[in-house]
Amino acid sequence: MNKIKTLVLITLTDTEKKHFTQFNDRLDISFKDIKEVPIMREDIEDAEIIIGYPPKKFLETAKNLKWLQVISSGVDKYMRNGILPKNTIITNARGSYGEAQSEFMFSMLIALIKKLHIYRDNQKQSKWQSEGDVMMLRGSTALVIGLGDIGGEFAKLLKAFGVYVIGVRRDATKPSQGADEIHSFTKLDSLIPRADIIAMVIPASPETENLMNSKRISMMKKGAVLVNTGRGVTVDNEALCDAVESGHLAGAAIDVFNIEPIPMEHRIWEIENLLITPHVAGLDYMAHNWSHTLTLILENLQLYCEGKELRNKVDKSLYEFS
């Protein structure tokens, strides 16, 4: 029986590679660390399984590709028409990042509302100066847009600090432990004015592109804050800058932007009440996250070899980009 050609494009230790030997009788596995060696078109062409992030420009010739396993939650960069062969299954690493990314989001939020970023700037200038009132979490209302793995964990953290949490998700009937209310996206406009904190934890899709547009940002409560660790294209970042500069919003914390890296000349760098991190909230290389992801990969390889349904299969109909 011919072995299934499998291409692994992730950084693995020798010990981690040994986990894959259990599949040697069924899979013909090639390991190529995409961070160390260039990936060529011929590496992609014959693979039936690819694990990692193959260059998009080569996937048009990947005629044998049946399954792509990415090691992140987001898959949007592979979802535009024509990138993947039509019947390719794509699975993500949902479940690996909830705890770590929600902690990062919470840290950004606390730093922002307590003005820690400003005090850090003052420290660099040897300036001993009060920056005035700060926001309290207890008694505030948060709107978490996206109640998946990450948003659900973030909601639980907020709840533990006395925040009233409103969640928005596609299926409003699905419960979430940290949310006091759950609504569908159709209710979004009525929910925005209620929130002191809005957290964006959603993927990029036709439904979510520019979801927080200038109109919706203007609907936010005066003095509210926004946190975005989902995807940069879900927020009108120019309108966000305007709202923070004008004082309508107290501030924003963003880990993602519609152009990455953010151009050096962009005004966003100079806005005091904007806290920026360079798309690191997920930290897929953290041991906590990576252990879960590696286990998922190995379980899915076993399921694939047995002809069974894969875990974390992405519904491609939700990402019908043109």
Could you read off the pLDDT of 142-162 as tens digits, one per residue? 999 999 999 999 999 999 999
Per-residue pLDDT, 159? 98
Q: What residues does 144 pair with on adjacent strands?
A: 167, 199
Angular region, 195: left φ>0, alpha ψ -120 to 50, beta rest? beta
The least confident of 55-59, 66-70, 164-168 is 55-59
Residue 321 above 70 pLDDT? Answer: no
Q: Which domains does the chain have, with CATH numbers?
A: 4-95+286-319 (3.40.50.720), 98-276 (3.40.50.720)
Token pair recorded at residue 188? 């979004």
Q: Is the pLDDT of residue 31 over 90?
A: yes
Q: Give pTM, 2 decimals.
A: 0.89
Separation between Cα atoms, residue 96 and residue 249, nearest integer Å = 32
- Under the banding of pLDDT at 50, 70 and 90, the label for residue 285 is low
The reported pLDDT for the residue numbered 57 is 86
Query: Torsions phi, psi of 261, nearest 5?
Result: -70, 160
Angle among Cα 174, 303, 74 to the nearest 5 degrees reads 50
How do residues 216-231 score in pLDDT, each as one tens digit? Answer: 999 999 999 999 999 9
Cα separation of the two ends of the chain? 39
**Residue 91: helix, strand or coil by DSSP?**
strand
Q: Summarize the confidence of residues 91-118 as an average pLDDT.
A: 95
Helix axis angle, 287-305 to 98-113, nearest 10°: 150
* pLDDT score of 1 more than 80: no
More confident residue, 226 or 289: 226
The first and second tokens of residue 195, run together, are: 């929130």
